[in-house]
Amino acid sequence: MTTDSPRQPFPYALERLGVIMSPEPGEPLEAEGVLNPATGRDSNGDLYLLPRLVAAGNVSRVGLARIVVEAGRPVSVRRQGVVLAPDRTWERGSQNAGVEDPRVTYLPALGLHVMTYVAFGPLGPRTAIAVARDVHEWRRLGPVSFAYDDELDLDLNLFHNKDTAFLPEPVVAPDGTESLAVLHRPMWDLSEIRAGEEPVLPSWIEDPRASIWMSFVPLAEVVDDVRAIVRWRGHRVVAAPEHPFEAIKIGAGPAPIRVPEGWLLLHHGVTGRLEGGMAQQQNVNYAAGGMILDSAEPWRVLQRTPTPLLTADTDDERSGTVPNVVFPTAIEEIEGERFVFYGMADSKIGVARLVARG
């Protein structure tokens, strides 16, 4: 695994532009913040933000807001309501409820927008999927199920999972089948379900910290029946924490994009100290990093940033529901330039320009 060096600088950088969306005063669905958005275009080509809207009690919904572009850059949004609310039993728990942190990938092979999101239900956060021909109306396909692999000696269905995103193009999976590839992040902490419970992991997992994994879905199965997209197999680790800004854990950000070097994956790295379990992350710092994944075998990391591309430096990023957070979740091209949308301190949404170095 190669990383950034003075001789081989990481080929991309982020230039912060500012806040694009803040909670609307007096709007109860945004009382605790707007954050961590997906993006997508409708049938007319208009660009939309799909933000996580957090109401009182930490109840999340996925909204829809048209992005306003001026002089070639996104500057604000016009709200158009809610597209997903936690109205299924598996999206509602006794202590929490929500549909959270959507990522959207348009898959030309299916002619569909595919949304992965966190369904916060009775057993905690689980990955779920919805699909749409147009970003205005979404069809739920339900929670993801992970195929058991005897060689792994690990049932991923037992654990929480977040930070999921499909690659936009099929790949040839390690088993030789043309497949959809999806990034995700299993989490081994079971204490929120059973106090004091410690996960028993197979010996081959060298690093128990939350890491980026990849799984696969045979394309032919999904073409035959789109509901097959929730059945993932061929699980493997892509990247574990490696650098100081990733000391606690890492997770995938937006769906990777094609670049001359391969696939560009933005991710977040976390440092600090977790207190009170997963729901009480008040003493941490989230920063944005980057990786280059191999073009043909995207489970192989060719290069990664030893230091962040973006850190929590502004007041909007340092102060909020969870202080000191930049959390990239979407990339879009506008008039020939690429822009990254990211959560700011779990309270607002920012935008940065993605630029190629040299």
Cα separation of 296 and 293, whole Å? Answer: 9
Whether the pLDDT of residue 131 is over 90: the answer is yes
Quote the tokens at residue 70: 């001026």
Q: CB within 8 A of 185, min separation 6: which ones?
A: 161, 162, 163, 164, 210, 211, 212, 213, 249, 250, 251, 252
**Do 68 and 78 contact (CB within 8 A), yes or no?**
yes
Cα separation of 273 and 282, whole Å? Answer: 8
Q: Is 226 helix (H, G, I), strand (E, B) or coil?
A: helix
Structural domains of the chain sorted by starting position, each given as residue range(s) with its CATH number in brackets: 12-195+207-356 (2.115.10.20)
Whether the pLDDT of residue 82 is over 90: the answer is yes
Strands (E), 122-255: 124-132, 139-143, 145-146, 160-166, 171-172, 178-187, 212-218, 231-239, 249-252
- 88 vs 279, residue with greater confidence: 88
Q: Is 221 helix (H, G, I), strand (E, B) or coil?
A: helix
Half-sphere exposure of 301 (CA within 13 A, CB side): 25
- Which residue, among 63, 96, 93, has the nearest Cα to 81 in the 3D structure? 63
What integer pLDDT is reported at residue 90 of this predicted model? 94
Give this prediction's pTM: 0.94
Q: What percent of the chain has pLDDT over 70?
A: 95
What integer pLDDT is reported at residue 96 of this predicted model? 79
